[in-house]
Amino acid sequence: MTRKINIAMHQLNYTTGAFEANFLKTKASIENALDADIHVLPECAVTNYPSDDYFLDAQYQAKAIEYCERYRELSATLGITIVVGTPLRGKTRSKKMCNGLVVYSKGVEVHSYMKTHLPNYDVFDDVRWFESRLEQVGADAEIRVLEFHLDGATAKIGFCICEDIWFADVIGELTELGAEIIVSINSSPYAIAKGNFRRAIFKERVSESGVPLVYVNQVGGNDELVWDGCSAVLDPDGVLYEIEMCKEGVEVVTLADSGKGFRNTVSKPTLVLNDQQERYLMACLGLHAYIEKNGFTGTLFGLSGGMDSSLVAAMTVDTFGEGRVNTAMMPSPYTSAGSNTRAARLAAGMGDGFVAEVWPITEEYEAAKAKFRKARGRDPSGLADENLQAQIRGNTLSMISNDAGGLLAMIGTSNKSEILCGYGTLYGDLRGAFNVLKDLYKSIDVFPIAEMRLEHAINPDPVFDRVWLQTFGRPLAKWTDDCRKAMREVIDEPPSAELKPGQKDTDSLPPYPRLDRVLWEIEDAKASQTDEQIAALLGEDVEFVSMVRAKRKRYEFKRFQSCPGVKIHRKSPTTKDRRMPLTNHFA
């Protein structure tokens, strides 16, 4: 009789610290696949990953241990086997736990494992939160395989956790012990191009070990991180079964012994979106998670008729629907008639139209300037005058949000290029609860994404439509002809903050395509480079590169105080990914 095993991959969207909700979500998912032989949950499914310094909190640790018992009881009640990702107690005298997994089979703990490699780079702080398996003693330090009993046969399964598969040693140890299948539980956050990098790692590990790799990743968002899922099984013959990105739920894959080891019985290739579709999807996934998991009833932002706020309008309408989108058009004496009309046309033509109240700020602006003149005998300086307008707008949005009981989340509309260069006003346009554009460059991301969304409004892509619907449970909004024309005008209009007559962003910043090329090399390139190296690579003047770097350094204090946002690029200006001193005299 051919040996075969049915593995349920539970690609789920967990919430940090929501022990009961996470458990009930898991239970419901398992009940949808009771015929599976073994159910695999993501890394730290009990608590969610990352839980940051809650991982060091004694009560949090105790709650994780308590809920492990719930999962054990579930395995007994349903007569199943579950692989549960959870913090586990390591050294008895340490305040840290281990990032681990437990296998419960019909109410009995039959296997456990503690993560070996602890990532300590980018957004990861595992060394701060956990002990490694290599720090343990006795049985906890041993690596073992599980002999899993099938009908009249057995299968030897080796388990590891996330970072462990990025290195060859753990899987090498497991295969030396006879593992015929490797199961990796993961909480691998999204970043641009990371999916292809992961798949290359899968191929390396499978080629080295000669056994299939089952990779189960979480999906969704929490704070500034998003997870694309893309759980997969890859076998030594190169047959791939991959769950679609951002799809929450369970899928069962069957591995059968072909005479040369376990192999996939069905293939399901990677679903591919273009770069702009993927970035739009993941940014909105992070926005959706923040709003829903923090109990906001709707969104609120300033709608100017410029590129950034127009893209945020499209994102919020697509993600939540028109009824949960609230905007304020806040013209000043310098706001052009074109900006006002474009904003109104967008608001009227996205889906069934969204709320766009007009709150002119001229009266407050002139009163504040008069107050300054009375105290100082002169008008405020040019920069103070410009920032004053942004701060009045920030006050207006805060008032509207507070009047709604704080249930309308203020959404930031500053892009990554502006944030890195300090081109934004503290307590003004940098104010907010969450910024969906925070890790999107103006020329690399914002404009191309807007072009993509406009093109989709004209010629819909059925694949993108399907992925969107299964991610958010709602279709992408339809745009009227006039809305499409207004968005075309927004894209073609030279960027301007409109805080003084005839102002253009190029008055304060280099053209965005030139600026962004340098910023990307400083921020996102894989290797740290000197100004001279970047200049040579891009064919730029060293002085220009140094000027951009100095501008980036000068405004660290603004980034530190700006609202959180979604991590999209390899390196983001989010608090989880950027740790730079505010007081810094390094040239």
- DSSP-derived letter for residue 358 is E
DSSP string over 236-279 = TT--EEEPPTT--EEEEEEEEE-SSSEEESS-BPPP---HHHHH
As a whole number of angstroms, the distance between CA 573 and CA 132 comes to 29
Q: 337-349 and 307-320 helices cross at what angle (nearest 10)?
A: 10
Using only C-alpha atoms, the chain has a radius of gyration, in whole angstroms, of 26
521 catalytic? Reply is no
Catalytic, 247? Answer no
Phi, psi of 231 (to 5 degrees): -55, 145
In this structure, how many other beta carbons lie within 10 angstroms of the beta carbon of residue 543?
A: 10
DSSP element (H, E) containing 559: helix 556-561
Spell out the residues 6+ positions from residue 448 whose beta carbon is closer than 8 angstroms to its own: 275, 276
Nearest CA-CA partner of 334 in 310, 362, 305, 307: 362
Q: Cis (ω within 30 of 0) for the bond into 331? A: no
Sequence letter at residue 270? T
Q: Which residue has the tokens 């730079």?
A: 580
Verify whether residue 162 is a known catalytic residue.
yes
d(CA 97, CA 91): 8
Token code pair at residue 286: 């992070």
Alpha-carbon distance of 585 to 557, in angstroms, equals: 14
Give the Cα separation of 450 and 317 in Å (integer).
14
Sign of the alpha-carbon dihedral angle for 111, 116, 122, 127? positive
User: What is the H or E stretch that residue 99 is in?
Assistant: strand 97-105
Active-site choice (25, 43, 96, 483):
43
Report the alpha-carbon distance of residue 11 to residue 172 in Å, rounded: 26
| Options 25, 63, 96, 115, the catalytic residue | 115
Q: Could you tell me which of 79, 9, 42, 33 has the C-alpha nearest to residue 253?
A: 9
Question: Per this entry, what is the length of the chain?
Answer: 587
Of residues 318, 285, 294, the one with CA closest to residue 454: 318
CA pair distance 388, 582, nearest whole angstrom: 24
- β-pair partners for 159: 183
Catalytic option among 162, 246, 284, 421: 162
d(CA 223, CA 509): 30
State which H helix or E strand residue 201 sits in: helix 194-209
Q: Is residue 109 a contact partner of residue 116, using CB atoms and an 8 Å limit?
A: no
Please name the residues in contact with 561: beta carbons below 8 A apart, sequence gap of 6 or more. 426, 430
Neighbours of 153 (CB within 10 A): 13
d(CA 429, CA 127): 36
Residues with active-site annotation: 43, 115, 162
